[in-house]
Amino acid sequence: MSPEVKPDFLISPEGLRIDGRRPDEMRPIELKVGVLKQADGSASIRQGKTYIIAGVYGPRELHPRHLTLNDRAYLRVEYRMATFSVPDRKRPAPSRREREISMVIANALKPALFLQEFPKSVVDIFITVIQADGGTRCAAINAASLALADAGIPMRSLIPAVAVGKADGKLLVDLGDEEDKYGQGDVPMAIIPQTEEITLLQQDGSFTREELNEAMQMGITSCKYLHELQKEALRRSYVKKTPDNGDEDDDDDGSYEDDLETDLGEAELMED
Ligand code: UDP
């Protein structure tokens, strides 16, 4: 493979990004729910060239037992990169970065979950990055949240996440790998969209107070857009699962929305 070359510029004279996007434009996103047969819940995300699969198991008995929490389920997240997911072979042993990102993802998801309904048990989320091209922790949150809903874990809301960054002095949403590597910094964030509560906020690089405020506003707008895509992916999966609903456009009573509401209710999704 040819060595990676630093691009001459990240923002063109016309104000467009290296892949032709506008500063506030997300990469193309494809979300799928129910992609793994063995898992209790699963989802995949393609965000540009980043490709991630998340599988949820549980609530189930927790081993080792000393991790048991008497008043709620333990949320155990394992974020891993496949050896072939990055240009240099990723060593298979868990890295410090993977452990940190696992913790960050768990903390971003927890505020939306009613884990107290399953004391002394564990909900496991296994996340594998198949292909990394920037923004993997946020893409992983988008997929993991959908996988939790698919597993029927009671939640206040789905959690969308996005990274906003800076390159050539301009704020950009949803950084690609080169923007991440050669840009001036990034701010990954996740929110509960209905209340705009922030469940993840990290910062890499330096931003002025004004830039940070603007970056967060851009992030909230993008998260709300992502949230719509998440809900739509979940709806599609329930329409597919309904046995008497062979055709997505051909419901019993002609009411697409009625079917969706019943099915979303089954998933114990407590969206507003
Ligand atoms: N990356 C890589 N090798 C690694 C780890 C990361 O090439 O061992 C790339 C990958 O494309 C990743 C990007 O660097 O998406 C940024 O990584 P970071 O740690 O900032 O996390 P992310 O932005 O993926 O959440």
Domain boundaries, the chain: 29-243+252-260
Ligand 1 atom closest to residue 163's alpha carbon, by position in its atom list: 23
The pLDDT score that the predictor gives to residue 239 is 85
Q: Whose CA is nearest to atom 14 of ligand 1?
A: 134
Beta strands 50-61; 197-201: pairing state: unpaired
- Which residue puts its alpha carbon closest to atom 7 of ligand 1? 86
What is the predicted pLDDT for the residue at 3?
A: 54
Nearest CA residue ID for atom 19, ligand 1: 97
**Confidence (pLDDT) at 7:** 85
Given a cut of 50, the residues of the chain with pLDDT beneath it are 1-2, 247-272
* Closest residue by Cα to residue 108 from 161, 41, 180, 184: 161
Separation of CA 254 and ligand 1 centre (Å): 46
Find where tokens 């997240």 sit. 77
- Burial annotation 180-212 (CB, 10 A radius, 16+ → b, else e): beebbbbbbbbbbbeeeebbbeeeeeebeeebb
Q: What is the pLDDT of residue 245?
A: 57
* Ligand 1 centroid distance, CA of 184 (Å): 15
**For ligand 1, what atom is nearest to the CA of residue 50?**
15
CATH superfamily name and code, 29-243+252-260: GHMP Kinase, N-terminal domain (3.30.230.70)
Lining ligand 1 with CB less than 6 A are: 86, 90, 97, 132-137, 163, 177, 180, 188
Question: What is the distance between the alpha carbons of residues 149 and 126, in angstroms, rounded to a whole number?
Answer: 14
Of residues 224, 236, 238, 239, the one with CA closest to residue 272: 224
User: Could you tell me the distance, in angstroms and rounded to a whole number, from the CA of residue 116 to the centre of ligand 1?
Assistant: 33
**Could you tell me the distance, in angstroms and rounded to a whole number, from the CA of residue 228 to the centre of ligand 1?**
26
The CA 240 to ligand 1 mean position distance, Å, reads 34
Q: What is the mean pLDDT of the chain?
A: 90
Residue nearest to atom 24 of ligand 1 (CA): 136
Give backbone dihedrals phi and psi of 63, rounded to 5 degrees, phi first.
Answer: -125, 135
Q: Is 55 left (phi over 0), alpha (psi -120 to 50) or beta?
A: beta
Assigned token pair, 145:
């949240």
Are the C-beta atoms of 261 and 251 separated by less than 8 Å? no
Distances (CA, A) of 142 to 74, 151, 226: 20, 15, 8
Site to substitute for ligand 1 among 91, 177, 184, 189, most atoms within 8 A of C-beta: 177
Cβ–Cβ contacts within 10 Å for residue 71, how many? 8
